[in-house]
Amino acid sequence: MKNILLIEDDPFLIDIYATKLKEEGYSLNVAEDGEEGLRLLKQKKPDLLLLDIVLPNFNGWEILRRVKKTDALKDLKVIILSNLGEKDEIEKGLSLGATKYLVKAHYTPSEVVKEIKKILK
């Protein structure tokens, strides 16, 4: 069973994605802020990180930088799932090493799960 770490601070979105991902057979861990996310990354060693950018404590940019600088995590698949949809934000995410950048308003939870499946197959 593939393990996904979701770092997201919106309880409504956490519930939606937790339900969808579990229905699809994924194991899920959730962190509601950047600090907890970094701790769970090291503890759980997920197969994929689903990462928001605007977070309490450490933002998603800082988390992505740390992931890519850590030998044990640098090959981790990272999907940024954010409301920040400007072209420069998307380019920044991809240049920092994100596998995919999805703008929340442009993807339904089912479509996000399809993207996760493509990356993890």
Q: What is the CATH number of the domain that holds 111?
A: 3.40.50.2300
The phi and psi torsions of 102 (rounded to 5 degrees) equal -115, 130
pLDDT of 34 reads 96
Residue type, 42: K
Question: Which neighbouring-strand residues pair with 29?
Answer: 5
The phi and psi torsions of 96 (rounded to 5 degrees) equal -80, -5
- pLDDT, mean of residues 80-104: 97
For the chain, the average pLDDT equals 96
- pLDDT, mean of residues 33-46: 96
Total structural domains within the chain: 1
Distances, alpha carbon 97 to alpha carbons 25, 74, 101, 103, 113, in Å: 26, 9, 10, 17, 20
Range of the domain at 52: 3-120
- pLDDT, mean of residues 10-18: 96
pTM given for the model? 0.96
- pLDDT, mean of residues 26-35: 97
101 SS3 class:
strand
Residue 21's pLDDT band, with cuts at 50, 70 and 90, is very high
40 SS3 class:
helix
